[in-house]
């Protein structure tokens, strides 16, 4: 046995991760793929990596030093289960199986429980950064046991991206914690992308600037507080010219956004946990709306405002959009961290939110300057109830809110959809409100279903005899 780590599944992500591992001092990497040709191809194209090829699971196990550690990089779902089953057959107690795919965290919890019965460790690890990240340094979010972290920690640290001298990997928590955090990362990614798309749309419709000119705006924004990977690549996408038509590429791409499910999982999970991730939800729904051409077709003639958007001072408008984007982004992250906090409480994970923000500073898709501010906020107040109430964000929101309100009302007035901007603002105002109309909802619930209510002025649970003399009685709490 010569290898200290193995990779199963040699499609792009798997082979890039294997190459990354092999390039770091001290690692020897065993590789296995279901079809032999992928393994042969990887060995032929990267002889420098010194891979140890294995053409069966038995060979794979034999090539790994104990405790064995292997990272599975195959499609989420059944293919993952099949590889786990095969590895469990050839591995021994104390060995470690890592699922590096985008698995649903409840699947990870189930798998961890089943694999643990055999004495083998199972680790669900979220890996972000796409193909390039896998090769050059991703952000890694591993769950699983403390025992597995002893072996895995140094290996994962050796390949992770580095932010301000610190590797972008930390032991998130037990069983499904890593995949849970990766799921929320993707939800935030959806929100970030939707907010950027709304900003682009408003600028384009409001100022008539070309995509290439708007690329310059984003490139400029990338030098300030919005500095992030997604803003940077937005400029690149907007600048791209289509070779066959000579038009901006963004004008010839079909306007129907795809989704592989992680955004929807984030929202579904948030609904179950009762966490209002409204910005992430709107971003997910905006993709769904875009992907129903038949509904959009029959809706094209629906009445809209007589006037479109006319902007007098383009620079001032663009600055308003920038501030609206920044404020909405703060909301999206605040909601995402709220979901992680609620998930940790529900599933009994000890998740260090500051550490999560730190490992997102490099390597992953949502990497941004801004994550340093989140890390600062949790450093200062580890049990912060609402991230956006941290002093830095309060200042930023105070600076942005006027522009944010102008943009949301301008968009509504001009008939331009800005679902993530406007839902984020509503969330913000909902949190701020001294009294919410939830009191009326409680009254309605009590009226039709005797669901009871609480009072602001005394303890207890009450019901009004709506169909009787409308006097109030003390009641059993039925929520
Ligand atoms: C990452 C990405 C990655 C993947 C998304 C795309 O962190 O590296 O999030 O996991 O690109 O899952 O998701 P959609 O196809 O749903 O947009």
Is 192 near ligand 1, meaning CB less than 6 Å away?
no
Cα 154 to ligand 1 centroid, rounded to whole Å: 26
Nearest alpha carbon, ligand 1 atom 4: 130
From the list 326, 292, 317, the residue with the least C-alpha distance to 196 is 326
pLDDT at res. 479: 66
Cα 186 to ligand 1 centroid, rounded to whole Å: 6
Cα 131 to ligand 1 centroid, rounded to whole Å: 11
Count of CB atoms situated within 10 Å of the CB of 77:
12
Q: Across residues 228-256, what is the average pLDDT?
A: 98
**What's the pLDDT band for 308 if we cut at 50, 70, 90?**
confident
Rounded (5°) CA angle 459-461-465: 130
pLDDT at res. 355: 97
Question: What backbone torsions phi and psi does residue 54 show, to the nearest 5 degrees?
Answer: -135, 130
Is 130 near ligand 1, meaning CB less than 6 Å away?
yes
Pocket probe mutation, ligand 1, options 262, 268, 367, max atoms within 8 Å of Cβ = 262
pLDDT at 478 over 90: no
Task: Say if residues 379 and 353 touch (Cβ distance below 8 Å).
Answer: no
pLDDT at 477 over 80: no
Q: Across residues 13-30, what is the average pLDDT?
A: 97
Pocket probe mutation, ligand 1, options 20, 75, 140, 189, max atoms within 8 Å of Cβ = 189
C-alpha dihedral (314, 319, 320, 326), degrees to nearest 10:
150
R_g over Cα of the chain:
25
**Tens digit of each residue's pLDDT (9 = 90 or more) over 373-384:** 999 999 999 999
Is 63 near ligand 1, meaning CB less than 6 Å away?
no
Is 139 near ligand 1, meaning CB less than 6 Å away?
no
**Tens digit of each residue's pLDDT (9 = 90 or more) over 137-151:** 999 999 999 999 999
Nearest alpha carbon, ligand 1 atom 9: 186
Q: What is the mean pLDDT of the chain?
A: 97
**Tens digit of each residue's pLDDT (9 = 90 or more) over 171-218:** 999 999 999 999 999 999 999 999 999 999 999 999 999 999 999 999
Is 129 near ligand 1, meaning CB less than 6 Å away?
yes
pLDDT at res. 1: 80
Task: Say if residues 2 and 27 touch (Cβ distance below 8 Å).
Answer: no
Atom of ligand 1 nearest to the CA of 190: 17
Is 114 near ligand 1, meaning CB less than 6 Å away?
no
pLDDT at res. 307: 87
User: What is the C-alpha separation between 430 and 325, in angstroms, rounded?
Assistant: 18
Question: What backbone torsions phi and psi does residue 128 show, to the nearest 5 degrees?
Answer: -120, 150
Task: Say if residues 31 and 42 touch (Cβ distance below 8 Å).
Answer: yes
The reported pTM is 0.97
pLDDT at res. 44: 97
Is 102 near ligand 1, meaning CB less than 6 Å away?
yes
Cα 244 to ligand 1 centroid, rounded to whole Å: 28
pLDDT at res. 154: 96
**Tens digit of each residue's pLDDT (9 = 90 or more) over 68-124:** 999 999 999 999 999 999 999 999 999 999 999 999 999 999 999 999 999 999 999
Nearest alpha carbon, ligand 1 atom 17: 259
Task: Say if residues 49 and 18 touch (Cβ distance below 8 Å).
Answer: yes
Residue found by looking up tokens 């769904």 in the block? 288
**Tens digit of each residue's pLDDT (9 = 90 or more) over 325-346:** 999 999 999 999 999 999 999 9
Q: Across residues 51-79, what is the average pLDDT?
A: 97
226: left (phi over 0), alpha (psi -120 to 50) or beta: alpha
The residues assigned a catalytic role are: 182, 189
Atom of ligand 1 nearest to the CA of 260: 16
Is 424 near ligand 1, meaning CB less than 6 Å away?
no
Is 364 near ligand 1, meaning CB less than 6 Å away?
yes
């Amino acid at each position: 046995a010569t290898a200290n780590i193995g990779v199963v599944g040699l499609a792009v992500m798997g082979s890039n991760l294997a190459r990354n591992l092999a390039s770091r001092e001290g690692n020897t990497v065993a590789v296995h793929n279901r079809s032999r040709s992928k393994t042969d191809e990887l060995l032929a194209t990267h002889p420098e990596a010194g891979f140890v090829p294995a053409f069966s699971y038995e060979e794979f196990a034999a090539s790994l030093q104990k405790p064995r550690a292997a990272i599975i990089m195959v499609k989420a779902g059944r293919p993952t289960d099949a590889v786990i089953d095969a590895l469990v057959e050839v591995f021994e107690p104390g060995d470690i199986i890592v699922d590096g795919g985008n698995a649903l965290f409840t699947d990870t919890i189930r798998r961890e429980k089943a694999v643990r019965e055999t004495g083998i460790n199972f680790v669900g690890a979220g890996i972000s950064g796409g193909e390039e990240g896998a090769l050059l340094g991703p952000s890694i979010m591993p769950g699983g046991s403390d025992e597995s972290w002893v072996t895995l920690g140094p290996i994962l640290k050796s390949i992770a991206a580095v932010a301000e001298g610190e590797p972008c990997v930390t032991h998130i928590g037990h069983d499904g914690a890593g995949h849970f955090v990766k799921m929320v990362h993707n939800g935030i990614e959806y929100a970030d992308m939707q907010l950027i798309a709304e900003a682009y749309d408003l600028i384009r419709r409001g100022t008539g600037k070309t995509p290439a000119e708007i690329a310059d705006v984003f490139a400029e924004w990338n030098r300030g507080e919005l500095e992030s990977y997604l803003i940077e690549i937005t400029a690149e996408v907007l600048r791209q010219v289509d070779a066959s038509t000579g038009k901006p590429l963004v004008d010839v791409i079909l306007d129907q956004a795809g989704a592989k499910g992680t955004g929807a999982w984030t929202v579904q999970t948030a609904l179950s946990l009762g966490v209002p991730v409204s910005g992430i939800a709107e971003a997910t729904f905006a993709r769904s709306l875009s992907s129903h051409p038949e509904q959009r077709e029959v809706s094209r003639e629906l009445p809209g405002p007589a006037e479109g958007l006319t902007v007098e001072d383009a620079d001032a408008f663009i600055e308003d959009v920038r501030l609206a984007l920044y404020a909405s982004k703060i909301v999206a992250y605040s909601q995402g961290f709220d979901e992680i906090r609620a998930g940790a409480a529900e599933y009994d994970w000890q998740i260090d939110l500051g550490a999560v923000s730190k490992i997102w500073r490099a390597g992953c898709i949502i990497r941004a300057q801004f994550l340093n501010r989140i890390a600062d906020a949790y450093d200062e107040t580890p049990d912060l109830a609402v991230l956006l109430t941290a002093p830095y964000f309060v200042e930023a929101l105070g600076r942005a809110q006027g522009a944010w309100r102008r943009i949301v009302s301008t968009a509504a007035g001009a008939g331009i959809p800005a679902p993530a901007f406007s839902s984020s603002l509503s969330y913000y105002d909902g949190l701020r409100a001294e009294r919410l109309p939830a009191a009326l909802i409680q009254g309605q619930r009590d009226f039709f279903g005797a669901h009871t209510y609480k009072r602001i002025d005394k303890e207890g649970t009450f019901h009004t005899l709506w169909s009787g003399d409308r006097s109030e009685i003390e009641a059993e709490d039925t929520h």
